[in-house]
């Protein structure tokens, strides 16, 4: 549809906004015609009251007519990261809307030149905020980029990788800030547990079949036993002589309750009650220690 056709159709539509052509499908307008029509719509948009149907029509039509700018900008990021193209276009559309709301014809600048930086900026922000494997503050995300550029710049003159102190001097920051940025950069990508741990040969093949998952440590049940014994030792010292003797016979010598009763000259039932009381005291003490 050309600008002339759109204006002719608009004149025949009773629903056309005063001073604006009625466009049935703004997304089908050719980019060259969109530039011409955009000037007409921007001129009317500035005098229409915000929130009215007329203002909404003009603004929505401008968005639809200029979506080709978003698709053009998004195509530059097609092979970057794992971002879905539909998501990139949606994010870029946010930039387009911001550009439309802030554009002023009096600046005598083409809308395309004004809008593209907004669109690209939103897309870059999307990748910056969503492609990190570990969430880190935006300050450190931006610092990672500065450090990478500084490394590349300094390496040319030094013929080696710059030190932390050299990077700090170049960027006007403290050594601690550079170190923090380098550590945070480790969160940008995450290695797979299926990645080989062995050194690759000259053609990039892993020398062995072990992966990170194969050598990943697991909780050692014996460690929990050691911790429990370490906690239990001072509690045993708090028992009286008979209580300690009963514990030793039951769990050290592994005597039955009947055998303990014979040894102490008491009934098996009495031994059972004593054991229950002693174990309750020890268990309560261990919970308190935790």
pTM, entire model:
0.43
The full DSSP string for 125-193 is: HHHHHHS-SS---HHHHHHHHHHHHHHHHHHHHHSSPPPHHHHHHHHT--HHHHHHHHHHHTTS----T
Sorted by where each starts, the structural domains of the chain and their CATH numbers stand as 3-130 (1.20.120.1810), 138-214 (1.10.10.10), 223-289 (1.10.10.10)
pLDDT along the chain (290 residues), means of 10: 42 53 78 82 84 88 90 78 73 90 82 88 77 61 81 86 89 87 66 56 49 63 70 81 86 86 88 87 71
Cα three-residue angle 61-65-70, rounded to 5 degrees: 120
Is 66 within 8 Å of 110 (Cβ atoms)? no
Q: Is the dihedral of CA 227, 229, 232, 237 positive or negative?
A: negative
Query: What pLDDT, on the 0 to 100 scale, is given for residue 237?
Result: 81
**H or E element that contains 218:** none
> From the CB of residue 32, how many other CB atoms can be counted at a distance below 10 Å?
10
Query: What pLDDT, on the 0 to 100 scale, is given for residue 45?
Result: 84
Query: What pLDDT, on the 0 to 100 scale, is given for residue 97?
Result: 92
Is 273 within 8 Å of 246 (Cβ atoms)? no
CA 226, CA 131: separation in Å to the nearest integer? 42
């Amino acid at each position: 549809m050309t600008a002339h056709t759109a204006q002719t159709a608009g004149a025949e539509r009773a629903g056309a906004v005063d001073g604006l052509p009625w466009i049935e499908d703004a997304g089908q307008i050719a980019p060259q015609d969109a530039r011409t029509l955009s000037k007409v719509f921007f001129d009317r948009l500035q005098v229409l009251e915000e929130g009215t149907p007329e203002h909404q029509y003009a603004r929505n039509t401008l968005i639809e007519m200029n979506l080709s700018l978003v698709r053009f900008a998004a195509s530059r990021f097609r092979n970057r990261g794992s971002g879905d193209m539909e998501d990139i276009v949606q994010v870029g559309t946010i930039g387009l809307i911001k550009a439309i709301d802030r554009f002023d014809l009096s600046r005598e600048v083409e809308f395309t030149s004004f809008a593209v930086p907004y669109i690209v900026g939103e897309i870059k922000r999307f990748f910056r905020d969503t492609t990190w494997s570990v969430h880190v503050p935006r300050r450190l995300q931006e610092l990672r980029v500065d450090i990478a550029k500084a490394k590349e710049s300094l390496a040319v003159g030094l013929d080696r990788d710059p030190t932390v102190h050299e990077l700090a001097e170049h960027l006007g920051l403290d050594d601690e800030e550079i170190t923090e940025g380098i550590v945070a950069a480790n969160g940008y990508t995450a290695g797979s547990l299926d990645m080989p741990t062995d050194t690759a040969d000259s053609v990039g093949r892993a020398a062995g079949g072990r992966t990170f998952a194969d050598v990943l440590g697991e909780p050692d049940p014996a460690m929990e036993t050691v911790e429990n014994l370490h906690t239990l030792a001072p509690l045993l010292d708090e028992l009286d002589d008979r209580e300690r003797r009963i514990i030793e016979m039951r769990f050290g010598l592994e005597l039955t309750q009947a055998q303990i009763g014979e040894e102490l000259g008491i009934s098996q039932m009495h031994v059972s009650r004593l054991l229950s009381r002693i174990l309750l005291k020890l268990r309560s003490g261990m919970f308190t220690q935790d």
